[in-house]
Structure 1
Amino acid sequence: MAAVTSARRSVTVAPGPSGLVEALWVAHGPHGAPPRVALPDGRPAAVVRLGGPVRWVDPLTRETEVIGSVLRGPRSVPQVVLADDPAAPSFEVGARLAPWALSALRPDGGFLVDDHRPLAAVLGLDEEGLAARLRAGDPEDAAAVARALEAELVAAVRRPVPAGDRADLERVVRIADTERGLVRSIDLARSVDRSLASLHALFAAHVGVTPAAFLSAVRLSCAVRELGVDDRGDAPRVVAVLRSYADAGYPQREVERFTGLSPLELRRAVRGMEEVLATV
């Protein structure tokens, strides 16, 4: 599947059977990537940037960081992602990982919740060698380029998640995704014959966030994507959806349930994203 925006081509690639990687993508173009809003979705990701780096902007604090090739953990707050040099060519290869992936990869820094580390530093990958392999591939052959990254990630697994734990995690994640996050933590626990305390322990050991926080992230990302909004390339529409939600007057409990943010935090985040995008 490919989408073209201002001569930028973005292609998604089906991953292999390992289960470590949920999705792969390759995006390249003659100019910097368009602004986007990185929504929480409960997943970590690995990204190799072969063109210019990007700037991540926290809409609540306005802190800005220039980021190259990284392994990042699950997020709790949307972030604005801007090209550091809009005139520089962009070339990005990425992998959305399974929620339990960082437990298997065991990176320095733990689960990296709302954090990230350089790929080479946390996984011991030969980042320059990997980048050279990816550059040598034809960007039009997206599958080969993306699977080179996938192969490196699978090879970097240090301690596989025990089969029983992984089966339970995959089941509850599948239910959470199918129900768009609109399910209770206790229902997830019952689906795998666990107590709520046992489910919390499972997530603490292998995901790094609570079941409730994971469900909030799934709800927020699904709320935007269900409206047909491309959260990888249509930042203004993503922010418009969040703005309409912030202005709808829902009770505080409902706002927190659907977004993981309080009404005040959501309004601050939306205002921050609007102000950041207005400068682009």
Structure 2
Amino acid sequence: MGTDDLMIDTSSGALPGPAATITGDALARIAHEAGALIMPYFIQGCDVVEKKDNSPVTEADHKAEALILEQLAAIAPGLPVLAEEEVAAGRIPDLGNVYACVDPLDGTREFINQRKDFTVNIGIVADKKPVAGVIYAPARNALYVAHPEAAPWMAEMAPDADWAIPDQRKPLQTRKASEKLVAIASRSHRTAETNAFLDEHDVAEIISAGSSLKFCLVAEGKADLYPRMGRTMEWDTSAGQAIVEAAGGRVTLEDGTTPLHYQKAERDYDNPHFIVYG
């Protein structure tokens, strides 16, 4: 049976197809290792290069991505990976129906400017839907995990600590919106369309945050809305969407009903505008 013929079923707690050997703890360990690799570059600084799309990239991006790809290949041989820097180099595998999305250093501008809102993102996509994900913010000691084997959780995990499966896990649960809505907006990529959306809704408070931590704040129940009216790629959002949806939220297009889906080769794997709801 080819991966295109798989019937996606995660009711057993396992991921489908070539991702079946990946556990939530394994995803967490890989993200933690990548975060530990990144932190010395954050502390000491590193050279920055501009890519063809005018976005910045550093040695930390490349080193972390290489580590993640090696670790994923070790625990899930045959799993295709859509990885940011590999795509930038023109290397896109045949993804099939189940694949991983990797952003080794989401929030590179935050990283370069010595701000702590950068993350390691690893998502698993099956049948065009994120079904598992991990986001690790090493400068904030914050680890977020969603996997069908268990309820979504977060834990405190320092990047310089030896890896151990966290035993102090806080469940993630989106909150019920009140009359005083709290929204999150991008610190580095705020657009006029985003401002217009916020103006049209009765938002009492706006939180600025960088990288995929915006998804995490919604999943934690610290905010109600995250509108993103700007360009993002599948590797930017798959882990965050998996975490938010596992915590009870939704990620939709601007119509508020159509789910954000994946495997968009016809768009070069970029996303349309979307809204994250708690």
Q: What's the TM-score, normalizing by structure 2?
A: 0.24
Give the number of the structure whose residues are more often helix, by fraction: 1
TM-score (norm 1): 0.24
Higher relative contact order (CA 8 A, sep 6+): 1
- Pair member with larger Rg: 1
